[in-house]
Structure formats: C-alpha cells, structure tokens
Amino acid sequence: MVGVHDGEARDLITSARRLVIKVGSSSLTSAAGGLDRARVDALVDAVAGLTAAGREAVLVSSGAIAAGLAPLGLRTRPRDLATQQAAASVGQGLLMRAYTESFARHDQGVGQVLLTVDDVTRRGHYRNAYRTLERLIALKTVPIVNENDTVATHEIRFGDNDRLAALVAALVHADVLVLLSDVDALYDGDPTRGTASRIAEVRNESDLAGITIGRTGRAGVGTGGMVTKVEAARIATGAGIPVVLTSASRAAEALSGSAVGTLFHAVRARPAARLFWLAHATSPRGRLSLDDGAVRAVVHRRLSLLPAGVTAVEGIFTAGDPVDLVDAAGTPVARGLVNYDAAELPGLLGRTTAELSVALGPAYEKEVVHRDDLVLL
C-alpha cells in the first residue's frame, strides 16, 4: 500500500503546473511570538524552487494578526474583532516585508492580494480578483493572499484562511492545494498524545469516519485547528482539486513530490468556478419565495427567475447580492445574485416582464436572477 501512495503523491505534485500553497500562523511564528524569519525563509526557499523551475505558485499566508501582536504589546491573540483588526493592520505590513525580502534572495517578486468574501462573489469583483491573480502569475510574480482582515466584519469574513485557500485554489484553477501547518499530517486522534497514527490518504468521507478532529491548534496562534483544514480539503476536492496536508517544515519534501502528509483525493470533476464560489463562499442576504412553476423553471429547466414566479421577498439586499430561492415549503433550492434591490422587488412580483417594461421602462425587463448567476443547492 505504501508504494502505491508514494507514487500517487509524487506524480500529483510533480506534474502540477499551478499550485496554491497555504501556510498557517503557527508555522511562521516563533514560540515567543512574532515572525520567525528562519521559518519564513525556509518556506520561501521551497516555493521559489517551484517558480525557478517555471511552475506557478500562489501563496495564501496567515500570520498578520500573529505578527502584529508584539509591536502592539499584546501577548496572546485578542478575542475582540477590533483589536484583531488592529493587529492585522500592523502585522500585514511586517508579513509582506518579510516575504518581499525573503523572495528577493531568489530574485523573485511578490504581490499582495487581500480578499474579502464580497470580492469573490459579486460578479464584477470576482472577475477583478481572478484577473489580478492571473496577471500577477503571468508577470512571474508570486501572489501572496490573505484575508483583508482590517475591513472584514463578522458578516463578510471567511474567518479562516484554510477555506480562503480552498476557494482561491478553485478561483485560479489550481492543479493542487498544499496546506502547510505545524502538524505533519492528519492523524486519527490528537497527535500530541503519541498514540494517534497518520492517515496517509483520504479518498472519501468514509475514510474520515471515527477520526477525532480537533478544533484548536497551538494556543493563541492559529485558528480553527484541524477542523478547518479538513473542511477546506472537502471544498477543494469537491471542486476537483486534490489536497496535500503536511507541516511547513516538510514543505520542501512535499513540493518535491515525497509522499509526506495526508493526500485528499479529488472527488469530482471541476464545476464552473464562479458558481462554486457562490455556493460555498457567500451567505445569503435575503430569501425569495418561488411558486411551483418558478421552481420547475429554475431547478428542472435551468431558466432565469422572472418576477412573475416570485411570491414573497425577505431580507435587506441590494442588486448584486446573493439571495436564496426557496420553494413553497421554505426549502432553499438555489442561490443566485439578484438583479434588484429588496425595496424594488415587491412592486414587481407576479407581473410579466412585458408588462413591467411598458409600465416602468426597459430597465425592468431584467430577470430577477439570471440563470448564469444561479447555482442549485
């Protein structure tokens, strides 16, 4: 069995043209707190090895909050959002300085990309994020992505960079996602106990049955523990992207194809990237109730949603926001980007587009949700 895993892990990494590599706070900071330049340099050496060989790398790096603690005289990660945001504001600059200097040792340039959920779910913003990342890659510059912590409120927050990394991997159509943490693999129980064993590969959900997956990592540093990594692996593998999970200290081995860590196999072919984001990265701002005919049109015939089929509107949203479409029983059947503000919709319900166009003008010929902006749930 081990031989089979070895071969698969090696081919998967060595044949990948585009890799998204995520590194957690716990792998970039020293035990005393603050950025550990030796650890940053070791990671950068491994990533620069890829780009020097003509391969494409996107780095998703946590560490802004951790790097900002010491300069602000804080000992542990603050619990309140405002202080976390202040720490991120101080730390993000330090983090980028460390990466800029470290990659410069390899004559490799970097670019900072800070994202919020909104940036990647609203159609215009999604295209912007995609275009910027593609252009950086084309310019042989390594994008260094983090959540835009200083402006992200609870509502619009990814909350953990594991999920952000999975979504970025889908956005840029990565061939593989590499999650680097302070633990060398997924274990079947608490790895600090010594009795747990490494899980070399995960092919489907049943391989995860009976495993104790902890929610916390090193005190005061990372967020989410192993739970958010396994969740990120679910998102990426569901988007057709295999995932390798190992420790940052094994980054060089992992990126050169050694069968270290845990390999999560892709479970299905890739869905359309933007709709994948819509389903996984957004929280709906409202709900539109559909009559039976509209449910049939949207779900079975994959048509756009017209005002005539909407019976009720809930929530406060503006045009471009994600909303859930629910059937007569209130069960969500689809999520889509709505073309009207919540305040405008009640006056349009039940009316045909021809009627609305005559009464209100051609701007009201628009669908409520265009079929290209809809994903079935």
Ligand X SMILES: Nc1ncnc2c1ncn2[C@@H]1O[C@H](COP(=O)(O)OP(=O)(O)O)[C@@H](O)[C@H]1O
Q: Which segments are annotated as binding site for substrate?
A: 62, 149, 161
Q: Is 208 in the site for ligand X (CB under 6 A)?
A: no
CA 161/CA 139 separation, integer angstroms = 25
Number of residues that bind ligand VHF (CB under 6 A): 17
Burial (0-12, 13-18, 19+ Cβ within 10 Å), 333: middle
User: Is the CB of 211 or the CB of 267 nearer to ligand X?
Assistant: 211
The DSSP result for 34-48, as a single string, is SB-HHHHHHHHHHHH
Q: 165, 241 in Cβ contact below 8 A?
A: no
149 binds, among ligand VHF, ligand X, none (CB under 5 to 8 A by kind): ligand VHF
Site for ligand X in 11-30 (CB under 6 A): 24-27
For 43, 98, 222, 339, the CA distances from 107, given in Å and listed in that order, are: 15, 14, 30, 46
Q: 163, 236 in Cβ contact below 8 A?
A: no
User: Is the CB of 227 or the CB of 333 nearer to ligand VHF?
Assistant: 227
- Tell me how crowded residue 112 is: count the other CB atoms within 10 A of its CB: 16
User: Is the CB of 20 or the CB of 369 nearer to ligand X?
Assistant: 20
Element (H, E) at 348: none
Q: Is 224 in the site for ligand VHF (CB under 6 A)?
A: yes
Rounded to 10 degrees, the C-alpha dihedral 159/165/171/174 comes to: -170
Answer for which of 69, 186, 236, 244 binds ligand X (CB under 6 A) is 186
CB of 248 to ligand X, least distance (A): 8
Which 8-state DSSP code applies to residue 300?
I
CB of 352 to ligand VHF, least distance (A): 48
65 binds, among ligand X, ligand VHF, none (CB under 5 to 8 A by kind): ligand VHF
Which 8-state DSSP code applies to residue 266?
P
Answer for which of 92, 181, 282, 304 binds ligand X (CB under 6 A) is 181
Tokens representing residue 346 in the block: 């009640």
User: Is the CB of 114 or the CB of 278 nearer to ligand VHF?
Assistant: 114
Strands across the sheet with 322-326, in order?
A: 310-315, 286-290, 322-326, 332-337, 374-376
Annotated binding site for ATP: 22, 181-182, 223-229
What does the per-residue mask of binding to ligand VHF show for 137-166, with x meaning CB under 6 A?
---------xx-x----------xx-----
User: Is the CB of 123 or the CB of 198 nearer to ligand X?
Assistant: 198
Nearest to 134 by CA among 18, 272, 282, 15: 18
Tokens representing residue 323 in the block: 């909303």
Number of residues that bind ligand X (CB under 6 A): 24
The SS3 of residue 62 is: coil
Site for ligand X in 54-73 (CB under 6 A): none
User: Is the CB of 118 or the CB of 149 nearer to ligand VHF?
Assistant: 149
Instruction: Spell out where the chain has E strands.
Output: 18-23, 56-61, 110-115, 142-147, 176-181, 201-202, 243-247, 262-264, 286-290, 310-315, 322-326, 332-337, 374-376
CB of 183 to ligand X, least distance (A): 4
218 binds, among ligand VHF, ligand X, none (CB under 5 to 8 A by kind): ligand X
**What does residue 334 show for φ and ψ, rounded to 5 degrees?**
-160, 160
The SS3 of residue 70 is: helix
User: Is the CB of 29 or the CB of 148 nearer to ligand X?
Assistant: 29
Q: Is 250 in the site for ligand X (CB under 6 A)?
A: no
213 binds, among ligand VHF, ligand X, none (CB under 5 to 8 A by kind): ligand X
Site for ligand VHF in 63-102 (CB under 6 A): 63-66, 88
103 binds, among ligand VHF, ligand X, none (CB under 5 to 8 A by kind): none
User: Is the CB of 77 or the CB of 274 nearer to ligand VHF?
Assistant: 77
CA 243/CA 260 separation, integer angstroms = 12
Contacts to ligand VHF by CB under 6 A:
24-26, 62-66, 88, 146-147, 149, 160-161, 222-224
> Which residues are near ligand X by CB under 6 A?
24-27, 181-183, 186-187, 190-192, 211-214, 217-218, 221-226
